[in-house]
Amino acid sequence: MENVDETNSDVEEDGGMPSEQEGEGEMAVDGGTDDWNGFILGSAPGEAENREVVSAWRPGEPVSPQHVLWLNSYTQDYLCSPEDNIYNVSFSRFKIRDLGSGAVILDFRKHCSTEIQNVYEPDVSRFIQYHFSPAFLALREIGATLEFTVGSRALSRFRLIERHFFRDLLLKTFDFEIGFCIPHSRNTCEHIYCLPELDPDTGIEEMIANPFETRSDSFYFVNNKLIMHHKAEYSFSPKSD
């Protein structure tokens, strides 16, 4: 099994939201990211291979952190439903920055009500397509900041596990312990990603030449129970005219 990166993230609880907000339901790209092409919300993930481990799992059975750490490929199906987010965790902002230069690569934020709602909202962005330039693959460390709200129930042992694949090759596993979040809170945490070193003549060229064949599963656990499962696909091809 590949080595797992474990990074403890400090969670900041805040009574207010960022002052820079866009229109209702919109996501905004930071103005200084002309060389990067944001992300595109998709309606369904592409075809994926997932054989041994997931085939032994049945809907309704609990999914443990150990289960997802043993997955041998990108998942074909979601391992939980949007209704499993009983804590009403809602993400309001996602920012990526290069730790080497400090440059902000992307910054998306969603307009949210000033009052935290304890109402279930279907997660319409469980699948996302990112389009980065080839320069992204040369980065060594990035910081990813999440801002999110919590409903009326506290989060205990909130944990994020990410599995990144190129085709059926596991690139890296990231395991972040977010920790405890109080009810009706707004929280911010930054995860530090040490990106894998890739062979420039094979791995990098293949990933650039085959957009959206680099994929990831993001699993969110509370007390070792899976409450959210998000999927993403990545393109590193140069932007066309």
Domain assignment present for 115: yes
Three-state DSSP state, 16: coil
Q: Is the dihedral of CA 175, 136, 145, 47 positive or negative?
A: negative
Closest CA to 174 of 189, 184, 164: 164
Pairing of strands 225-235, 169-181: unpaired
Residue 112, CA atoms < 13 Å, CB-side half-sphere: 22
Q: Strand runs (DSSP E) across 73-168, as ranges? A: 90-98, 104-109, 127-131, 141-149, 155-166
Q: Would 201 be classed as within a structural domain?
A: yes
Answer yes or no: is 83 within a domain.
Answer: yes
Domain contains 18: yes
Domain CATH number, residue 85: 2.70.50.40
Specify the number of domains making up the chain: 1
Lowest mean pLDDT among 8-17, 183-192, 197-206, 221-230: 8-17
Q: Spell out the residues 6+ positions from residue 75 whose beta carbon is closer than 8 angstroms to its own.
A: 48, 50, 54, 217, 229, 231
In a domain? residue 240 = no
220 part of a folded domain: yes
Q: What is the pLDDT of residue 109?
A: 86
Q: Are 61 and 124 in contact (CB under 8 A)?
A: no
Residue 241 lies inside a defined structural domain of this protein: no
d(CA 87, CA 83) in angstroms, rounded, equals 10
Task: Return the pLDDT at 125.
Answer: 73
pLDDT in tens, 105-137: 999 887 655 454 554 455 557 999 999 999 999
Helical H segments across 49-116, by residue range: 52-55, 65-69
The boundaries of the domain holding residue 119 are 4-235
Q: What is the pLDDT averaged over residues 64-76? A: 93
pTM (2 d.p.): 0.74
The more confidently predicted of residues 58 and 98 is 98
Residue range 158-212, pLDDT digits in tens: 999 999 999 989 999 999 999 999 999 999 999 999 998 888 877 899 999 999 9
Judge whether 116 lies within some domain.
Answer: yes
C-beta separation of 229 from 78 below 8 A? yes
